[in-house]
Structure 1
Amino acid sequence: IQASFHALRNTRGLPWPKDHEKKDDADLLEWLQALFGFQKDNVSNQREHLILLLANVHIREMSKPDQQSKLDDHALDIVMKKLFKNYKRWCKYLGRKSSLWLPTIQQEVQQRKLLYMGLYLLIWGEAANLRFMPECLCYIYHHMAFELYGMLAGNVSPTTGENVKPAYGGAEEAFLKKVVTPIYKIIEMEAERSKTMKSKHSHWRNYDDLNEYFWSRDCFRLGWPMRADADFFKTPNFVLNPRDQTNGEHRPAGNDHWMGKVNFVEIRSFWHIFRSFDRMWSFLILSLQ
């Protein structure tokens, strides 16, 4: 635990915001909080989470007490591999390079890995119901990790001519208000539509339907910062009823902006009772002959 704790305290070389008062006991997660606007309690929880993850693997890899003063790089790689397994698969599936860029200076590699893991856990810890949309979290992390890399590398923005800064800033609760809340409101609106209207499954989206949007390269049209006028954030602007006609893709006709279902659409029919219980019907027919 001490080895993990001291590794997180290594903030050497990090560019702190000018308006932020750096504490003597500041660590990497506090630096991420200052830049991306995570909640204070979330930072405390994920600090403990990350320390315990690293400590558990570290103590298994190095059993000798005299060798535990420094965090083992192999233990760090094991935890990192588990955390980013789905993210790397997502990048490979979409044909995109991951944002996990490591420095060439060996002394900075461990710090960079801890920053990447800390950022992922902070996003996950504050994502709330967005955790049911893992590819959506991959999309968010992909852009924020790239911003992190740009700031540490000293990249200059081609639009502003200044050093790269987080798109949503580091104001208090900026991540919750500007990233999580807009997506959650869409989930809430779609859930309310499913409760208040006797509509077909093709007329509203659930978690899986919204998450499927991030299964294709088209999700990058959403941009970063996310465009408020993107199709992902659109909902039908008319009242649905059972007599509404649908187009060939089982989406409500008359609205060109609502994204609707992306892949599978469940169609309600009385035939479902036969298809869903086909094994039971087969068993009864055979046994009652």
Structure 2
Amino acid sequence: MSSHEVGPGLTKRTSRGGALTTNFSSEVFDNQVVPSSLGSISPVLRAAKEVEAEQPRVAYLCRFHAFEKAHRLDPSSTGRGVRQFKTALLQRLERDNAPSLAARVKKSDAREIQSFYQEYYENYVRSLDQGEQGDRVQLGKAYQTAEVLFEVLCAVNKTEKVEEVDPEIIAAAKDVQEKKEIYTPYNILPLDAAGASQPIMQLEEIKAAVAALWNTHGLNWPTLFEQHRQKAGDLDILDWLRAMFGFQKDNVRNQREHLILLLSNVHVRLVPKPEPFNQLDERAVDAVMHKLFKNYKTWCKFLGRKHNLRLPQQYQEVQQRKMLYMGLYLLIWGEAANIRFMPECLCFIFHNMSYELHGHLAGNVGTMTGDSIKPSYGGDEEAFLRKVITPLYRVIDKEAKKSRNGKAPHSSWCNYDDLNEYFWCFGPCFELPWLPQVEVY
């Protein structure tokens, strides 16, 4: 077996059969093998590797910034693999400092990275951005690298006490931030302006579901969100639910794709074929609703309560209301975490939130305050996670700790089924106040 150097600090050993095995070394962090607890520094290390050939000093500054972030995230290096990772990264920094400093063109690190950032933005990012003709994958990577470079630039300026940043750099950073959101990586559907020309978005069943989701006619937006809406352009039903109930932005993005695919998959299989095909058929909406709310309706029937899936009198508003109910349920499910193991608890949450939703749409909520779209727990950023899910999770966590890792008798603590059983009892279940009176933060 022989060995040869394939890069600074990385050794590959070649067996006689030709197979390659890589030893752990100081280069491992460049291959994105970072401890899970330090995942947020991976983009910084990827940016360092990308620019290293052209600008080694900037690559060094990126790795130095990654080391500082890693130390802030885990200062005592208690996480799995963190100590080894930080040691390898520090060794790499010590080795690269002198040669990268010798290769520096400008008089200071601040000027060096500012100069490179401008060059990278003007000569690479802008040349790639050709609208719908551009390469989405390459553009996404370029904007992410540019964002990282600006983050490192700000850190270097702070270290060297540089108070002013060139206005051109600030303008470029704002443009990068806006475009980065447009070219965010997606799962299946590119649901942004830049993805409209992609083949999958040309399918009629996809267009039909997307059009139904964009029907926000008659929905009143919060004042602050209305201003954002005017800048961002058209927003859909799930954005409205996020504005009202405080769901997370990424949850909205995931459930938007989820709901579109559920509806389009049923729509395309309908017999007889819908006419016109590019409009979402009511049969598809009803089929998806039946699947989503079968357990909820069973739960309501068992407890002798009328469900809150109330539809309006006007026919043209019926489909929108159904989309709102389905979107609300999926958004609740998307942030429920371990509460998903308590399906009747989810029914209880949806039952109360759908009641509030109906009140908002009927204009019966918030008339005293003048704001008709705030739920009882407030619709601020991530309010649902903080004020609904987290208090319930803490109850589960408290009960789990009573088990003493399974050593305590089961009669002394409650598991998921025991807690979920509470929501099968008519009296205690509906005597529970909405919401849990727990201050999370």
Identify, as 1 or 2, the structure richer in helix: 2
Q: Which residue does the alignment assign to 1:16?
A: 221
Structure-2 change in CA distance of 1:167 and 1:156 (3 Å): closer
Q: Structure 2: state its 5+ residue gaps.
A: 1-205
Q: Which residue does the alignment assign to 1:246?
A: none
> In the TM superposition, what is the alpha-carbon distance from 1:8 to its structure 2 partner?
0.3
Q: Is the 8 A contact 1:99 1:146 kept in 2?
A: yes
Residues of 2 paired with 1:120 and 1:18: CA distance?
A: 25
- Return the letter of the residue paired with 1:40: K
* Runs of 4+ deviating beyond 6 Å: 158-162
Q: Structure 1: state its 5+ residue gaps.
A: 230-289
Deviates further, 154-163 or 187-196? 154-163
- Return the letter of the residue paired with 2:248: Q
What root-mean-square deviation, in Å, do the aligned CA atoms of Structure 1 and Structure 2 show?
A: 2.0
> In the TM superposition, what is the alpha-carbon distance from 1:224 to its structure 2 partner?
1.0
Residues of 1 paired with 2:258 and 2:369: CA distance?
A: 37
Counterparts of 1:152-231 in structure 2, within 5 Å, are: 152-156=361-365, 163=372, 165-195=374-404, 198-217=407-426, 218-228=428-438
Structure-2 change in CA distance of 1:45 and 1:156 (3 Å): closer
TM score, norm. by length of structure 1? 0.75
Aligned-residue sequence identity (percent) comes to 62
Residues of 1 paired with 2:216 and 2:373: CA distance?
A: 19
Using CA pairs under 8 Å that are at least 6 residues apart, name the structure with larger relative contact order, 1 or 2.
1
Say yes or no: does 1:106 pair with 2:311: no
Residues of 2 paired with 1:134 and 1:65: CA distance?
A: 34
SS at match of 1:97: coil
Say yes or no: does 1:33 pair with 2:242: yes
1:25-59 alpha-carbon deviations (Å, 9 max, x no partner): 20000000000010111000000000000000000
Residue of 307, 313, 333 corresponding to 1:124:
333
> In the TM superposition, what is the alpha-carbon distance from 1:198 to its structure 2 partner?
4.0
Computing the radius of gyration from Cα coordinates, the structure with the larger value is 2
SS at match of 2:318: helix
TM score, norm. by length of structure 2? 0.50
Residues of 1 paired with 2:306 and 2:273: CA distance?
A: 38
SS at match of 1:84: helix
- Return the letter of the residue paired with 1:134: P
Q: Which residue does the alignment assign to 2:259?
A: 50
Q: Is the 8 A contact 2:222 2:371 kept in 1?
A: no
Q: Which residue does the alignment assign to 1:133?
A: 342
- Return the letter of the residue paired with 1:17: P
1:93-143 alpha-carbon deviations (Å, 9 max, x no partner): 111111111000000000000000000000001100000000000000000
1:167-225 alpha-carbon deviations (Å, 9 max, x no partner): 11111111011100011011111111102584321110000010001001111121112
SS at match of 2:418: helix
